[in-house]
Amino acid sequence: MAEDEKELDIFFAAARRETARLPDALADRMMADAGHVQRERARFGSTARSAMSAPARVLATGQSRAEGWLAQLREMIGGWYGMGGMVAACAAGVWLGFAPPSGLPDPASLLGRSDASVDLFSTETLAVVLTEDH
């Protein structure tokens, strides 16, 4: 074991021995906030559920609403924010495809150009194949 690894092992062992304790004031504030959220959900019921995203709604209610595949895809991507990012990425890709940076070749100029011609059956090879007896 290298010297650096031995020093790291000493620090990891010290961290394992030390028990971290959550301050009581922080734990009390967390529990008060959780109680507040539970009371709000109980009071507003369906209103709070309708504001949830589709995956959270399925987890909270245990049942899924029949949605179209496009709505499900939109929710999987991240809602309208995710769709906006996908549109921006597509637009950037199209832009770079039509107007590439100076270091990249222009794909439009490569489409109509042919640098080499390939003769699959040259006349000599074809003649040799036809003259062979099997």
Domain boundaries, the chain: 1-51, 68-134
Tell me how far apart the alpha carbons of residues 56 and 49 are, in angstroms, rounded to a whole number. Answer: 9
Query: For position 48, what pLDDT does the model report?
Result: 47
Instruction: Please report which residue ranges of 22-68 form alpha helices under DSSP H.
Output: 24-44, 46-50, 54-61
- Residue with structure tokens 């949830």? 52
pLDDT tens digits, residue range 39-95?
A: 888 887 645 445 555 556 555 555 555 568 888 888 888 888 998 999 999 999 888
pTM to 2 decimal places: 0.32
Tell me how far apart the alpha carbons of residues 120 and 29 are, in angstroms, rounded to a whole number. Answer: 79
Question: At what angle are helices 69-77 and 54-61 packed, to 10 degrees?
Answer: 100
pLDDT tens digits, residue range 79-114?
A: 889 989 999 999 998 888 888 777 777 776 777 666
Neighbouring C-beta atoms of residue 58, cutoff 10 Å: 14
pLDDT tens digits, residue range 15-26?
A: 888 888 889 999
